């Protein structure tokens, strides 16, 4: 079974942490000797520490650089629209 240590820093992944769980977009941003700090991209971005040995039910895919940029662009367009309204 995959674990959080299998995720590379500064990459984005679609995962199911638990069987039957919703798909999450996560990005490991820092590792220590025992843990990894994960940025979870949801309605509100959150940070969460996980043990390197914590199981992940399924790593669905690692996003390519192009897909990561496409994801970021979705929110840039949204921000630009909100700025235009003000």
Cα–Cα dist 27/10, whole Å? 6
pLDDT digits 0-9 by tens, 10-20 = 899 999 999 99
User: What is the reported pTM?
Assistant: 0.83
- Spatial contact of 49 and 32, defined as CB atoms under 8 Å apart: no
Domain of residue 79 covers 4-85
The answer on pLDDT for 29 being more than 90 is yes
Contacts of 49 (CB under 8 A, 6+ apart): 35, 36, 37, 38
The answer on pLDDT for 84 being more than 60 is no
pLDDT digits 0-9 by tens, 41-82 = 988 899 999 999 999 999 999 999 999 999 888 877 655 555
| Residue whose C-alpha is closest to residue 14's, from 2, 3, 23 | 23
Handedness of CA 5, 3, 39, 35 (dihedral sign): negative
Structural domain count of the chain: 1
């Amino acid at each position: 079974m995959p674990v959080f240590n299998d995720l590379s820093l500064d990459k984005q992944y679609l995962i199911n942490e638990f069987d039957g769980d919703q798909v999450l977009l996560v990005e490991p941003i820092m590792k220590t000797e025992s843990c990894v700090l994960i940025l979870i991209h949801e309605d509100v971005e959150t940070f969460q520490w996980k043990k390197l040995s914590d199981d992940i039910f399924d790593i669905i895919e690692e996003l390519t650089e192009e897909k990561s940029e496409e994801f970021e662009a979705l929110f840039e367009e949204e921000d630009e629209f909100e700025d235009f309204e003000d």
